[in-house]
Amino acid sequence: MESSSVLDPAASPKRAPTERVALITGASRGLGYTLAEFLARQQWTLILTARHEKPLGAAAERLRAAGAMVTAVPGDVVRPRDRRAIAAAARRAGRLDLLVNNASELGPSPLPPLLEHPLPALRRVFEVNVLAPIALVRACLRLLRSSRGLVVNVTSDAARGGYPGWGGYGSSKAALELVSKTLANELRDSGVGVVAVDPGDLRTQMHQDAFPGQDISDRPLPDVTLPFWAWLEGQDPSRVSGQRFEAQGTVWEVPA
C-alpha cells in the first residue's frame, strides 16, 4: 500500500443532492472495477478505494475519460486512518446511496487446509473480510441513514460449501453473511438496507490465486453479473434488506 492520501480531491466536487453516490472498496480491478464502470454509465458519482495507488489511479482515470465523477482514495480497509480517509471522501460528496464492501482477502496461495492455515494470515482474512466492512458501515452510517442507502457485502459460495482448502476464506464469508443479516435487522428502522451478494465464480486475479497454475479461462468475466446489478440498482433498499443474492443464479433471491 503506497499511500493513504486522496489522489484527486479536486476531481470530484460536491454533487447536487439529487445525484447518487456509491463507495466501492477493492475497485481497481475485477468485480469492483466492473461495477464501478457500470454505475458510471448510470451517472453515479463514485468513491473508489483499493490498496495500491497506481492501479487505482489508472482505473479512476479510465472512468473519468468516459465522463464519470470519481474520487480515488488509496488505502487498506483494515487500517483505521485509511478508513477515516475513505469516509471523509464520502462526507465531501454529501451523501452515500450505496456502499459496496467488495475488498476481500483470500489468504495464502495455494490454499492450505484449515488446521494448517497460518494464524497471522487467518487473522488478516477476518480483518479484511469481516471487521473492515463492519467498521466502514459504522464510519458511513450517518450518510447512509440520511440517504436511506444500501450496503452490499460481497460474499461467496465458499461461505456455505465447506470446501477443502477454503476454510479460512469461507468461514470469513460465512461470518460476513451473518453480519449482513444482523445489520439488516438492526438498521431496518433507520431505512438503511444491507444485503449479501455472491457474484459466483469469475475470471479474476483472486480466483486465479486460488487455483495457481490452473487454467481458469472457462470462468466468465465479471461483466456476467451486470444484469443482476442493473436489477439491484432499481430496488428499494428496505425491500431487499436482509436477503442473500446469487448474481449468476437463475433466481437471484436466495433464502438466507
Catalytic residue among 33, 126, 166, 169: 169
Going by C-alpha positions, the residue among 7, 167, 41, 175 that lies closest to residue 101 is 175
Q: Is 33 tagged catalytic?
A: no
Residues labelled as active-site residues: 169
